[in-house]
Amino acid sequence: MTAASPAKAAGGAVLDLGCHTDRGGREHNEDTAMVLRVKGGVLAVVADGMGGGEIGRTMSQQAEAVLRESLREPSVDEPRTQIEQAVQLANQMLLNLIQVNPARFARSGSTLVCALVQQHEREAIAHIGNVGDSRAYLLPASGPLRQLTVDHTRAWQLRDQGMPHEQADKDPAAHKLIYTLGMELDVQYVPNFYLRQRLTPGDCLILCSDGLSGFLGNVAELGNLLRGVSAQRAAERLVQRAQQNKTDDNATAVVVRYGVSPRPAVPWLKLLAVFGFLGLILTLSVLVARLLPTIPVTPTAEPTVGTVIGAVTTVTSQPTEHPIATLEESGSNLLPTSTRMPSPTPTFTPTPTPTRTSVPRPLPTRTPTQTTVAPPPTLEVPPTIAPPPTLEVPPTIAPPPTLEVPPTIAPPILEIPPTIAPSVTSR
């Protein structure tokens, strides 16, 4: 059993496909069904094997396999000829099995109904071939179910000869097959072997075995049962209908719907569950955001270049203590010293001291030996930590004595020696 998903036709419509089979009232399932996308359309096959158990299953599988390989690339111009050749080849395959092993395959064979559906811009054409009593039905977009094929049975033969339908159906050999695959025949001469059916959007083509067609019950109810659902769901409902009507045979259905494939309805409970889950996640996110503590962010300041000599520099805080470097005056040199201060609290907000001023020293007055002592790299302090008020350096700190200019630096040419005057007057 093979099924395919919907595919778009040239005009925007789709061919929705469905396939389902069940052994029904039998111990073994001798039916074989297939629906396959081929070049330019779809190939659908239902074969009902005869012979009992595995023998009947083998016969139906062989017939389906030949059709699959022969019509994988069907001809657009001569579909009828190609179908006749494929069915004739399948019949010959079953004949060979019977001739090779007559003890096993005696009185065996298979029925066959196939449809090659070719897609066009605004319609689809179904080319149908039939041997035996497996059937093809048409369920139009509006209207009752209609049988397309003819059963090759004794009852049909009697009706064709003019016997009333009711009387022909009561014949003891009414269900005896006149034509099947596995017998000496030429399918070109099988009555009502081929037919051509036009499909418009909304039409539904159904292929089935006799274990389903004989147990459909009230055909007028099938329209409401099959419309508005996918092709796969329609095939499943047909088999379920036969089971409910106590079929005593294998039940198989293949459905090809031409038109827009209905979208499966999403239950409202699933939608409510999805939206409820999203709302729960949103509520939890809001609660977590409110319960988390708010950590104040202290604004950082850009470090200044050219700090005045004598300014206080703080070092980087450590996990347990913070060293703070200060500059002390000792004679004429500025020596850095390190002191340990307790770790500042996270909520401390630095307060600038309004009385603190910076007095830059003019660089030209410095001697080469007077340079600013840079703090060690390990004594870096983030600029956000303000120095303690006790470490402020008063702006009245006198410059070191070593920076004063001695009086002997004046040029000597400005002084006149006292011995020069008498020599000038003597002349």
CATH number at residue 65: 3.60.40.10
Mean pLDDT of the 196-201 span? 94
Tell whether 47 is covered by a domain: yes
Shared domain check, 164 and 28: yes
| 207 CA to centre of own chain | 34
Shared domain check, 89 and 216: yes
Tell whether 110 is covered by a domain: yes
Shared domain check, 318 and 218: no
Mean pLDDT of the 150-178 span? 92
- Expressed as residue numbers, the domain containing 165 is 7-259
Shared domain check, 16 and 135: yes
141 has a pLDDT exceeding 60: yes
Query: d(Cα 349, Cα 359) in Å, to the nearest integer?
Result: 26
Tell whether 303 is covered by a domain: no
| pLDDT, the chain, mean | 76
Query: What's the pLDDT band for 283 if we cut at 50, 70, 90?
Result: confident
Predicted pLDDT at 75: 79
Query: d(Cα 138, Cα 146) in Å, to the nearest integer?
Result: 5
Amino acid present at 238: L
Tell whether 372 is covered by a domain: no
Mean pLDDT of the 80-93 span? 96
Shared domain check, 204 and 325: no
Shared domain check, 219 and 137: yes
Shared domain check, 332 and 254: no
Shared domain check, 126 and 226: yes
Shared domain check, 237 and 158: yes
361 has a pLDDT exceeding 60: no
Tell whether 353 is covered by a domain: no
Tell whether 197 is covered by a domain: yes
Say if CB 253 and CB 233 are below 8 A apart.
Answer: no
Mean pLDDT of the 113-139 span? 93
Question: How many domains is the chain built from?
Answer: 2
Look at the block and give the residue holding tokens 């059993």.
Answer: 1
Shared domain check, 321 and 203: no
Query: What's the pLDDT band for 6 if we cut at 50, 70, 90?
Result: low
Predicted pLDDT at 36: 93
179 has a pLDDT exceeding 70: yes
Say if CB 111 and CB 131 are below 8 A apart.
Answer: yes
Amino acid present at 25: G
Predicted pLDDT at 210: 92
Tell whether 384 is covered by a domain: no
| 249 CA to centre of own chain | 42
Q: Does the pTM of the predicted model rise above 0.95?
A: no
* Among candidate residues 240, 259, 278, the one where a domain is terminated: 259
118 has a pLDDT exceeding 60: yes
Amino acid present at 276: G
Shared domain check, 317 and 193: no
User: Worst-scoring range by mean pLDDT, 101-105, 140-144, 213-217, 313-317?
Assistant: 313-317
235 has a pLDDT exceeding 80: yes
Tell whether 44 is covered by a domain: yes
Shared domain check, 320 and 253: no
Tokens of 298: 């202290």
Predicted pLDDT at 189: 92
